[in-house]
Amino acid sequence: MSPQSLTRPVSGKSRSRAVQRRVMDHLATGMSWCATFIVVFVLGSILWTLIKNGLPGLSLTLFTHSMGAPGAGGGLANAIVGSLLQTGLAILLGAPAGLLTGIYLAEYGADSALARTVRFVSDMLLSAPSILIGLFIYMVLVAPLGHFSGYAGSVALAILAMPIMVRTTEDMLRLVPVAMREAGIALGAPKWRVTLFICVRAARGGIMTGVLLAIARVAGETAPLLFTSLGNSEWSLDMQRPMASLPVAIYQYAGSAYQDWMQQAWTGALLVTMGVLIINIVVRVGIRGGRT
Q: Given this model, what pLDDT does residue 71 score?
A: 86
How high is the mean pLDDT of the chain?
Answer: 91
**If you average pLDDT over residues 105-115, what whole number do you get?**
89
Sign of CA dihedral 109, 111, 115, 120: positive
Q: Give the pLDDT of residue 10.
A: 54
Average confidence (pLDDT) over 170-179: 94
Whether 95 has a pLDDT exceeding 60, the answer reads: yes
The pLDDT score that the predictor gives to residue 109 is: 86
pLDDT over 60 at 1, yes or no: no
Nearest to residue 151, comparing CAs of 140, 166, 163? 140
Neighbours of 29 (CB within 10 A): 10
Please give the residue that has the higher pLDDT: either 183 or 6. 183
Tell which residue, 80, 85, 73, has the closest CA to residue 271: 80
pLDDT tens digits for range 241-279: 999 999 999 999 998 899 999 999 999 999 999 998 888
Phi, psi of 191 (to 5 degrees): -65, -40
pLDDT of residue 160: 96
* 33-79 pLDDT tens trace: 999 999 999 999 999 999 999 999 999 999 999 998 898 889 999 99
- The larger pLDDT score, comparing residue 9 to residue 112, is at 112
Q: What is the CATH number of domain 60-291?
A: 1.10.3720.10
